[in-house]
Amino acid sequence: MGKARYRSGVRWERFERSPWGRSLISALIVLLLIAEIGTNLPPSAFERTVGESADQLVRVFASEQTWGVFAPDPRSTSLDLEARVTFMDGSATTWDLPTGPSIGANLRYYRWRKWLERVRSDDYRGQWRPTARWIASLYDDRDSPVAQVELIRHFRDNVVRGEQPPYDQFTFYTYEPVDER
């Protein structure tokens, strides 16, 4: 591997080791990098000029990148959700989203953050009752049954510098499982 080959007394090199091969590979890499940059330009006259050609080239080389996850306009508010669970005997507890350990849990618990975005939204109000019922079911082993589950939205506008303000909150759904017994 990597050794020169001989055929009929003529030395044959691997193409990528020859000066022409190295030049061609280098030119293709530079062209591909330029095309990648061209596909990720912000909307402008220059982007409209080179964007489509760059996009086609990137697809030919199967090196398409999607950078939409790095949004240029990230959400300016922080969101959270809790459930206040009240039991028939008058005692209460708070259910919070699982967070996991501080190191190595990002991917595993990311799904909870995505779920939070949906379940707290007015667009997904059909999920409120099943969510409250599920949270109530987490406390089925208690001596006193669940009397009420309140789903509470927490939100705040993020600040760039300084301490973050406290969360605002409001109860957006109340579930009383007594009706189902």
- pLDDT computed for residue 9 by the predictor: 54
Give SS3 for 87.
Answer: strand
pLDDT digits (tens, 9 = 90+) for 61-70: 777 766 555 5
pLDDT given for residue 72 in this prediction: 65
pLDDT for the residue numbered 102? 65
Element (H, E) at 39: helix 19-39
Scanning the structure block, which residue is given the tokens 């199967």? 62
3-state SS, residue 1: coil
Q: What does the pLDDT read at residue 43?
A: 78
pLDDT at 71: 60
| Residues in the chain where the model's pLDDT stays below 70 | 1-13, 65-72, 102-108, 179-181
Distances in whole angstroms, Cα of residue 48 to Cα of each of 30, 41, 63, 66, 174: 21, 9, 20, 18, 51
Instruction: Identify whether the C-beta of residue 148 lies closer than 8 Å to the C-beta of residue 159.
Output: no
**What pLDDT, on a 0 to 100 scale, did the predictor assign at position 130?**
95
Whole-angstrom Cα distance, residue 109 to residue 63? 29
- Report pLDDT for 124: 92
pLDDT score at 123: 92
DSSP state of 163: P
Q: What is the pLDDT of residue 65?
A: 67
Residue 113 has a pLDDT of: 83
Per-residue pLDDT at 38? 81
